C-alpha cells in the first residue's frame, strides 16, 4: 500500500440543519429532475425528466450539496480516476459469454456507456429502472470501464493489446485466488450514497444480459464527505492516514505519470490509464497487538496526524537521514513510507484511489477486512511493479497484510459526446 493519496471528496457546504430540513421535505427523484430549472440544479443533458413527472401536490425543494454533486461522463479521461474519494464503491469483473466476440462486446460497451451517462446525470437507466436511487441526486457517481488481458483474444483483437497489459509478475506476499482475479472486462463504480452506487451496479449487471457474466464482485467504502471538521487524507482500517504522497493534478508531470499520451501506443489508449486492482487483506488482530509506537515504526509516520517520524506535519518532506540520540534512523530502514517514496524507486509513481472493505467475520472471530487497492498509472511496469518489487524485499508492513486477488486493466480515454467507451478499439 504505497504512501500516496488524493484529496478526499468535497465536504458538503450545506449546514447540518439545512440538510435535515431539505431531507424532511421528502423530495423525490422525479420531482428533482422534473423541476431542475426551478431549483437551479444542473443535472446533465436535456431530457432528464422523461418519465419522472412530479405529483401536483409536491413542493419543490433542493437536495443537499452531497446529492447534487455530479461528475461528467464525457471528457478527455474517464471519470473515477482523478475524482475525490467516494463513500461507497463496487468493483466488478465480467467474462464475455461463450460465443460472444467483438460485435457483442461493442454492443455491450454502447449500452454500458449510455447507462453510465444517464445515471451519472441523475437520470433513470434506459429501461427497467429499479427505482433504487429514486429521490437521490447524482451524488458524485462515477462509472469507469476497462479491458483485461484476456479480452483481446476473446474479441480477435490481439494485435491491439498493449504491452503494458502483460501479466504482473508474482510477488512473495501474493496468496491469489484466481477466481477473484483478472477478467475480460472491469467496471469501477463509486458514489457518495450507497443506494446510488448499488443502483448503478444493478443497472450495469442487467445491461450485461447474455453478452457477459460476472466473474467476481467486491464492495468497498471510505469515510463520508463531511464526517470530519475539514477535508483530510483518508484513514485505512489500520487507523493510519493512508496516501499522503499521492501525485496531484497540479504537478507538472502528473499527466505524464498517470495517463497514456495522446500520441501514445496503441492509439486507442490515448488519454487512458492502467488500473492495478488488488484485494489486500489486513491481518488486523496481529496489527492491533502492536503498540502505537511499533505501528508508527512499521509505517514511518505518526498515527495521530500522518506526519513523518522525522518531524513536521503530514506534508513535511521526510528526512531519511535523521537519527536519534543513539544514532538510529528515526524513520526505520524498512518503514513502509520510506520504501514507497518515488525518489527511492527511480521516480515511479501511481495515483492511489482505494476503498476499504469488510466482508464479515469468520468462525474464529477474525475479520475479513482490508483494502481494495486501486492505482492508476501510464505504465504499470514503471509504476506499480518496481514499487511492489521493492516492498517484496523487506517492507515492515508485509507481515500484516496479504494480497488475495489481483487484476490489471487497460482503461481507455473518455468518450466524446455521441461515442461510447472503447469505440476506437472496437470499431477502429
- Cβ neighbourhood burial of 19 (10 Å; 0-12, 13-18, 19+): middle
- Asked whether 256 and 382 are in contact (CB, 8 A), the reply is no
Give the whole-angstrom CA distance, residue 141 versus residue 196: 7
Tell me 384's DSSP state. Answer: H
User: What 3-state class would DSSP assign to 72?
Assistant: coil
Going along 166-211, which residue ranges are E strands? 185-191
Q: Which has the closest alpha carbon to 377: 162, 208, 67? A: 162
Closest CA to 300 of 314, 288, 287, 286: 314
CA distance 318 to 335: 12
CA distance to 260, 350, 402, per residue, from 381 (Å):
13, 11, 21
- Quote the Cα angle for 334-307-331, to 5°: 25
CB 118 within 8 A of CB 46: no
Which residues lie closer than 8 Å to 59 by C-beta, 6 or more apart? 25
- Marked catalytic residue, from 242, 255, 379, 395: 242
Q: Would residue 242 show up in a list of annotated catalytic residues for this protein?
A: yes
Contacts with 39 (C-beta within 8 Å, 6 or more apart), sequence order: 32, 60, 61, 62
Helix (H, G, I), strand (E, B) or coil at 218: strand
CA distances from 216 to 76, 212, 219, 278 (A): 29, 12, 11, 13
Catalytic residues: 242
Amino acid at each position: 500500500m504505497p504512501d500516496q493519496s488524493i484529496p478526499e471528496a468535497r465536504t458538503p457546504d450545506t449546514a447540518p440543519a439545512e440538510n435535515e430540513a431539505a431531507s424532511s421535505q421528502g423530495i423525490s427523484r422525479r420531482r428533482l429532475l422534473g423541476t431542475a430549472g426551478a431549483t437551479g440544479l444542473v443535472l446533465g443533458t436535456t431530457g432528464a425528466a422523461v418519465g419522472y413527472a412530479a405529483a401536483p401536490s409536491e413542493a419543490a425543494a433542493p437536495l443537499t450539496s452531497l446529492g447534487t454533486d455530479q461528475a461528467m461522463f464525457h471528457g478527455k479521461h474517464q471519470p473515477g480516476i482523478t475524482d475525490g474519494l467516494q463513500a461507497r464503491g463496487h468493483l466488478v469483473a465480467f467474462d464475455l459469454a461463450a460465443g460472444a466476440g467483438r460485435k457483442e462486446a461493442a454492443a455491450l460497451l454502447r449500452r454500458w456507456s449510455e447507462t453510465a451517462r444517464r445515471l451519472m446525470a441523475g437520470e433513470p437507466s434506459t429501461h427497467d429502472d429499479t427505482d433504487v436511487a429514486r429521490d437521490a441526486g447524482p451524488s458524485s457517481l462515477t462509472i469507469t470501464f476497462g479491458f483485461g488481458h484476456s479480452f483481446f483474444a476473446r474479441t480477435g483483437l490481439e494485435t491491439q493489446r498493449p504491452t503494458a497489459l502483460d501479466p504482473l509478475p508474482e510477488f512473495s506476499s501474493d496468496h491469489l485466488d484466481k477466481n477473484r482475479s483478472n477478467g475480460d472486462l472491469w467496471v469501477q463504480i463509486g458514489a457518495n450514497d450507497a443506494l446510488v452506487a448499488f443502483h448503478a451496479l444493478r443497472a450495469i449487471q442487467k445491461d450485461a444480459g447474455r453478452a457477459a457474466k460476472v466473474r467476481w464482485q467486491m464492495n468497498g467504502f471510505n469515510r463520508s464527505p463531511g464526517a470530519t471538521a475539514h477535508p483530510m487524507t483518508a484513514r485505512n482500517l489500520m487507523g493510519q492516514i493512508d496516501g499522503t504522497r499521492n501525485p496531484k493534478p497540479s504537478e507538472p508531470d502528473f499527466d505524464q505519470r498517470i495517463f497514456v499520451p495522446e500520441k501514445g501506443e496503441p492509439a486507442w489508449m490515448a488519454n487512458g490509464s492502467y488500473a492495478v486492482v488488488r484485494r489486500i487483506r489486513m491481518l488486523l488482530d496481529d496489527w492491533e497487538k502492536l503498540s502505537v509506537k511499533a505501528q508508527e515504526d512499521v509505517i514511518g509516520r505518526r498515527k495521530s496526524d500522518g506526519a513523518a517520524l522525522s518531524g513536521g506535519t503530514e506534508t513535511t518532506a521526510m528526512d531519511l537521514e535523521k537519527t536519534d540520540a543513539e544514532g538510529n534512523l528515526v524513520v526505520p530502514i524498512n518503514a513502509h513510507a520510506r520504501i514507497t517514496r518515488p525518489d527511492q524507486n527511480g521516480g515511479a509513481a501511481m495515483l492511489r484511489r482505494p476503498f476499504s472493505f469488510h466482508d464479515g467475520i469468520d468462525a474464529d472471530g477474525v475479520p475479513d477486512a482490508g483494502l481494495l487497492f486501486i492505482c492508476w498509472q501510464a505504465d504499470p511496469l514503471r509504476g506499480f511493479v518496481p514499487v511492489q518489487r521493492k516492498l517484496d524485499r523487506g517492507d515492515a508492513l508485509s507481515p500484516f497484510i496479504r494480497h488475495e486477488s489481483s487484476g490489471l486493466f487497460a482503461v481507455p480515454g473518455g468518450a466524446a459526446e455521441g461515442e461510447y467507451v472503447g469505440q476506437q478499439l472496437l470499431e477502429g
